[in-house]
Amino acid sequence: MKEILKKHLINFRGKKLNSKYLVLESDDWGSIRIPDIKTRNSFLEQGLIKNNDPFSMYDTIESERDLDKLFDVLSQFKDQNKNPPIITANTVVANPDFQKIKESNYKYYFFEPFTKTYSYNKGSENAFKLFNKGIDEKYFFPQFHCREHLNLTMWMQRLQNNNSAFIRAFQHNCFSIDFENHFNKRSNLMASYDYNSEADLEIIKQSIHEGLALFESIFGFKSKSSIAPCYVWDKKIEQILQENEVKFLQGSRFQNSPIEGGTSFKKIFHFNGQKNEFGQYYFQRNCLFEPSLNHDIDWVDKCMESIAIAFRWNKPAIIGTHRINFCGGLEETNRDRNLILLQELLKQIIKKWPDVQFLHSAALHELYS
């Protein structure tokens, strides 16, 4: 009952819509995480990652096979306008260029477009062709997640200080290991927009400016939205995004706002259609489909309940999910199980709400603005 009440509270504020709109938002496309099974098992033995972290166990860069199987599921369904379910693919447009960083003796940071990262990962060499196919066939609509899913300042400091754990991970072209101390508010270094000084903020500002420019050069259009990695951002980040023509902000139930000198985040609640001082809209995910995170939960039933509550309040159903649920490079059975669940979820949605309309996030923003 407590969880159901929370779902109602998420939906009761904000503009109501007359139709049933459903949006699928999925994060982390293009980003590296754990390179391969051999590396994962080695990191587990060394204690660099934990086996109770699903992202360490399952998350890796997507392959051609992953995209092909995902699009196959999406192609089986159409809404009342004959449109397939479309995933807002929040894309990490760059990854560290490990070779160049090493050649500088860790003194300077370099990055490469995610399309280059595809080119030398086995099974992903032609993934960008599949990515574009998904865009053309309206299964994928890319938006900007970040330049790289990494706190650059903290990572480079640890490399320059010869931190043994991060140096070992670096040798495997990896940065996503566990890291806990009082300087870091999370258990890893994945929160790109967490910062402790104005110098840190300048590095973030540059990454956003360059990342959005890279997004446009890759896809041929500007990203209207962004979602902060790990939902960590503050007003200064919003202003930087606004200066770079980002019109709305995707998010989860809460924003994690950095507190200067603090050891935790300030939790800020937003509602769909809320505007900030820069004229940007907030859109919050009011449904979840994250079967990789807990195999004991009935994610289809849980998500259907959330969709029903959103529609009861005449609000769009915005389903949050992650790339981890659809990539099989570390464990194919996890991907295949989740695709069956996605297929069942879409089947039940069409059956219960035949008048549903599938939208990507930018189209939803147009309805509100």
- pLDDT value at residue 196: 87
Predicted confidence pLDDT, tens digits, the chain (369 residues)? 788 888 888 898 988 999 999 999 999 999 999 999 999 999 999 999 999 999 999 999 999 999 999 999 999 999 999 999 999 999 999 999 999 999 999 999 999 999 999 999 999 999 999 999 999 999 999 999 999 999 999 999 999 999 999 999 999 999 999 987 656 667 899 999 999 889 999 999 999 999 999 999 999 999 999 999 999 999 999 999 999 999 999 999 899 998 876 677 899 999 999 999 999 999 999 999 999 999 999 999 999 999 999 999 999 999 999 999 999 999 999 999 999 999 999 999 999 999 999 999 999 999 998
- pLDDT value at residue 322: 98
CATH code for residues 2-368: 3.20.20.370
- pLDDT value at residue 187: 83
Q: 3-state secondary structure string, the chain?
A: CHHHHHHHHHHCCCCCCCCCEEEEEEEEECCCCCCCHHHHHHHHHHCCCCCCCHHHHHCCCCCHHHHHHHHHHHCCCCCCCCCCCCEEEEEECEEECHHHHHHCCCCCCCEEEHHHHHHCCCCCCCHHHHHHHHHHCCCEEEEEEECCCCCHHHHHHHHHCCCHHHHHHHCCCCCCCCCCCCCCCCCCCCCCCCCCCHHHHHHHHHHHHHHHHHHHHHHCCCCCEECCHHHECCHHHHHHHHHCCCCEEEECCEEEEECCCCCCEEEEECCCCEECCCCCEEEECCEECCCCCCCCCCHHHHHHHHHHHHHHCCCCEEEEEEHHHHCCCCCHHHHHHHHHHHHHHHHHHHHHCCCCEEECHHHHHHHHC
- pLDDT value at residue 1: 77
The model's pTM is: 0.96
- pLDDT value at residue 264: 79
